[in-house]
Amino acid sequence: MTVHAPLAIEATGLVKTYGDTTAVAGIDLAVPAGVVYGVLGPNGAGKTTTIRMLATLIRPDAGTARVLGHDVVTEADAVREQVSLTGQLASVDEELTGRENLVLLGRLLGLRRASARARADELLEAFGIAAAAGKLVKHYSGGMRRRLDIAASIVVTPRLMFLDEPTTGLDPRSRNHVWEIARALVAEGTTILLCTQYLEEADQLADGIAVIDRGRVIAEGTPGQLKASVGTGALHVRLLDAARRPEAAALLERAVGDAVLEADPAALSAQCTDSERAAVGLAELARAGIGLADFSLGQPSLDEVFLALTGHPAVDAPTGEPPTTTLEEQSS
Amino acid sequence: MSAATSATETADTAAVRRAIASTARPPRPGRLATALTFGWRGMLKVKHVPEQLLDVTVTPVMFLLMFTYLFGGAIAGSTSAYLDYTLPGLLVMSVLFTTVYSGVSLNTDLTKGVVDRFRSLPIWRPAPLLGSLLGDSVRYVIAGTVIIVVGVALGYRPDAGVAGAVASLALVVVFSFGLSWFFCVLGLLLRSPNAVMNAGFMGIFPLTFLSNVFVDPATLPGPLQAFVDVNPISVLATACRSLMDGTPDGVAIGVSLAVAAGLAAVFLPLTTRLYRSR
Ligand SMILES: Nc1ncnc2c1ncn2[C@@H]1O[C@H](COP(=O)(O)OP(=O)(O)O)[C@@H](O)[C@H]1O
Ligand SMILES: [Mg+2]
């Protein structure tokens, strides 16, 4: 064995099927302790199902998983003692107040009444929901609900936390707030398994990423390796004159990288490995007299990652075995 | 990012870090304590959503008023004689209607993420179910008390007095506790809270009318009478009447308790199994 750090999650060949649907088709994961590990994949890839198996909510049909050293099937109770789950649907009680939710969790975890109340107030304060503590959760905004949800997960600090799409549907400010909380948790020693559809989120938080598609891991590596395999992103430009798009595409293709025509007839983008080349591309466009309405340099989207990794976009994936690539192998 | 924003964010982060750092895991609570905590949750819901209670108490009170004053004279000769006959039955109806909501609220829970959280906690598995039924029994007692109080206000006077009323209420609540497991199974099998409500009332409504709650079965045609006589709701209503009158009918009480036990014996294990595999 050359593994030095203990693994927080070690899953081998996890499978879960629902009737004709194979939700998870054999997933292997090795998540080191003390980090954020991102599971990145489009809607329906099997992220939630994987989390539900690891959090002991459902039994795998095949394969095994150990979480913090305990088997998720035979030692489910020992797993539950050390993890907490912030599900994709907010896992809080809408018909109770925020404070009641936290007191309830405290009591269920064994805090005495007074400590449960004190703990609830401390968390409400820290998470910026003290003002709405007495309101029913169904009247909360999405961001408040999500923060309460995370607070409910750390009434007793877990050693490992499952975060399932914590920022889907949140505005940028709430999203940043959630990210801050996740970073603080990891700084205090909690391991986080983060499921997300956003490469940017995985890039911001995760130390390692597994990309999954149709229930399988199709790539894994650090965010840097992942992005290097797709380029840092794309230069998006929108022209003043849509008629000049073919000309602009040819030009960018030469100066920057593969150009893609977008749905907007005046817009196109070019794969771009660094910002200098983007600047060259913009200069070339200016020299050719092609006016721009606007331009931006974006991180690769999940679609672009998928295109690069699998040769097919994340949606409308053709059936058949997706190729498995390991980024470590590619980059070394 | 302005200096002000980053200052507040740092403050937040510091508070969050303190909050995260400050906990040690307490020992696990006992099974009963866990179930009682879930019972407390159920009661909080009654407090926050009193409409639910209103739904189940208003209908029986309406029936009480309607039957007593519209049909009472025709059915029993006088409104007071009819009230005497029908009140114990309406008590049964009122509380049994409430049991449908046990299934409805279980189903509501399942459509939300909160059950996932409960199932990821290191707690005794059946505690959420038992606890919410404990909370529901409080609702049963309230629904039953309302109908008795309205009855007394209209002139109903049980021969066995307060003791009779309390004994009948207790019997109905125990019966409901058994029956509610059936609705829990419906709650776990059906898709939406509304479907549970519709299916539940579609079953319990005709069963209540085809019982001796409203009319003496002696006036009914043969086959119907035979059905009414074996209907457990009739048996329970008979048992309640006997308790109210101070002449306890051992057979009816025994059969009611046995039916409740039988319902629980079949549907409780089914409920826990379905709950676990959802
Ligand atoms: N309880 C279930 N019953 C039937 N199909 C399911 C169930 N849960 C998930 N699926 C299916 O499994 C696939 C993966 O779902 P999910 O794990 O929720 O993906 P993700 O979280 O990545 O969006 C989807 O096709 C989904 O429809
Ligand atoms: Mg999901």
Q: What is the CATH number of the domain that holds A274?
A: 3.30.70
Q: Give the per-residue pLDDT at A314.
A: 59
Average pLDDT over residues A291-311: 75
pLDDT digits (tens, 9 = 90+) for B110-137: 888 788 899 899 998 889 888 888 888 8
Do A16 and A127 share a domain, yes or no? yes
Question: What is the domain range of residue A200?
Answer: 7-228
Contact A145, A90 (CB under 8 A): yes
Out of A280-294, B17-31, B52-66, B215-229, the most confident range is A280-294
The angle at the Cα of B19, spanning B15 to B23, to the nearest 5 degrees, equals: 160
Burial of B171 (0-12, 13-18, 19+ CB in 10 A): buried
Of B180, B184, B173, B175, which Cα lies nearest the Cα of B270?
A: B184
Domain membership flag for residue A325 = no
Residue B185 domain flag: yes
Q: What is the number of structural domains in chain B? A: 1
The count of structural domains within chain A is: 2
Question: What would the DSSP string read from start to end of A99-155?
Answer: HHHHHHHHHHTT--HHHHHHHHHHHHHHTT-GGGTTSBGGGS-HHHHHHHHHHHHTS
Taking only residues 37 to 76 of chain A, the set having a beta carbon closer than 8 angstroms to any beta carbon of chain B reads 52, 55-57
Please tell me the predicted confidence (pLDDT) of residue A4.
56
- The C-alpha atoms of residue A246 and residue B244 are separated, in whole angstroms, by 91
Distance in Å, alpha carbon of A115 to nearest chain B alpha carbon: 10
pLDDT band, very low/low/confident/very high, at A299 (cuts 50, 70, 90): low
Q: Would you say residue A313 lies in a domain?
A: no
Determine, yes or no, domain membership for A331: no
Asked if the structure places residue B226 within a domain, the reply is yes
Asked if the Cβ–Cβ distance from A127 to B44 is below 8 Å, we say no
Protein residues with CB under 6 Å of any ligand 1 atom:
A 18, 21, 23, 41, 43-49
In chain B, what percentage of residues exceed pLDDT 90? 36
Residue B67: inside a domain: yes
Residues B133-144: pLDDT tens digits?
Answer: 888 888 889 889
Chain A: residue whose CA lies nearest to B44 = A96
Contact state of B45 with A136 under an 8 Å Cβ cutoff: no
Contacts of B39 in chain A (CB under 8 A): none
CA B143 to chain centroid, in Å, comes to 9
pLDDT digits (tens, 9 = 90+) for A259-290: 888 778 898 988 877 778 888 999 999 999 99
For every residue of B157-207, DSSP letters joined together read --TTHHHHHHHHHHHHHHHHHHHHHHHHHHHHHSSSHHHHHHHHHHHHHHH
Query: Which ligand neighbours the alpha carbon of A164 most closely?
Result: 2
Encode pLDDT of A223-233 as tens digits: 877 777 766 57
Instruction: Indicate whether this complex's ipTM tops 0.90.
Output: no
Q: What range does the domain containing B78 cover?
A: 28-277
Has residue B123 been placed in a domain? yes
CB proximity under 8 Å: A 74-103 to B: 77, 80-81, 83-85, 87-97, 100
Q: Would you state the pLDDT for residue B22? A: 66
From residue A213, give the alpha-carbon distance in Å to each of A64, A194, A198, A306. 20, 16, 14, 9
For residue A115, the model assigns a pLDDT of 93
More confident residue, B278 or A15: A15
Same domain flag for A222 and A274: no
Residues A187 and A283 in one domain: no
Instruction: Please say which residue of A203, A228, A253 terminates a domain.
Output: A228
DSSP H/E element including A71: strand A70-71
Output the CA A43–ligand 2 centroid distance in Å. 7
Residue A61 lies inside a defined structural domain of this protein: yes
The minimal CB distance from B16 to the residues A115, A126, A156 is found for A126
pLDDT at A234: 79
Q: Do B121 and A177 touch (CB under 8 A)?
A: no
CB contact under 8 A, B113 and A88: yes
Asked, for residue A308, whether it belongs to a domain, the answer is no
Joined together, the tokens standing for residue A47 give 């992220």
Which protein residue has the closest C-alpha to ligand 1 atom 17? A46
Instruction: Examine residue A194 and state whether it is found in any structural domain, yes or no.
Output: yes
